Amino acid sequence: MFGNLTAFDSDLFDPLELMRREFGQLLDDRSGPRGIRSVIAGSYPAINVGASPEQIDVYVFAAGLEAKSIDVSVQKNLLTVSGERKLEPDSEAHYYRRERRGGAFHRVITLPEDVDPDRVTASYRDGVLRITVARHEAVQPKRIEVK
């Protein structure tokens, strides 16, 4: 009589499902970090942070930017990355889905207290911004030989 009711185009409901998941994470997920600099999943751009005894490595995945449009600054132990990705929509196209984000972004990352803000390098290649922040040498673990 009604045919197959499960034959709906799933793309029709994808934006609603995405919104439901994001609200669920925002309101219900208490397992993640909380604080003034916390962000919900899906924040742009995605960031990975790694640490070694010598340095902190930050990888910012921001394809489609020009290196000169990215601003990186360090103040004490706060690393700030900001910029803008300009997306020119095709006026002739009718979009069914647009997952690539455009516009301005601003991310702040709290670094460990022992970083040296005078020893920071940044490079942008293949859509990945790599920022390396050295740690103070005085805080480095020193190997002591036992005799």
Which domain, by its residues, includes 123? 10-88+101-139
d(C-alpha 129, C-alpha 120), whole Å? 13
145 within domain boundaries: no
Residue 93: per-residue pLDDT: 82
What is the identity of the amino acid at 23?
A: F
Distance separating alpha carbons of residues 107 and 11, to the nearest angstrom: 31
Q: Is 95 contained in some domain?
A: no
Residue 25: what pLDDT? Answer: 66
Q: What is the pTM of this model?
A: 0.65
Instruction: Report d(CA 112, CA 131) in Å as an integer.
Output: 14
93 occurs within a structural domain: no
Where helices occur in 12-62 by DSSP H, the ranges are 14-27
H helices then E strands: how many in the chain?
1, 7
User: What is the DSSP-derived secondary structure letter of residue 101?
Assistant: -
Q: Is residue 36 part of a domain?
A: yes
* Residue 45, in any domain of the structure: yes
Cα separation, 101 vs 64, whole angstroms = 10
Question: What are the pLDDT digits (tens) for 73-93?
Answer: 999 889 999 998 887 777 788
Q: CATH code at 22?
A: 2.60.40.790
Per-residue pLDDT at 38 exceeds 70: no
117-132 per-position pLDDT tens digit: 999 999 999 999 999 9
Domain count, the chain: 1
Is residue 2 one of the residues assigned to a domain? no
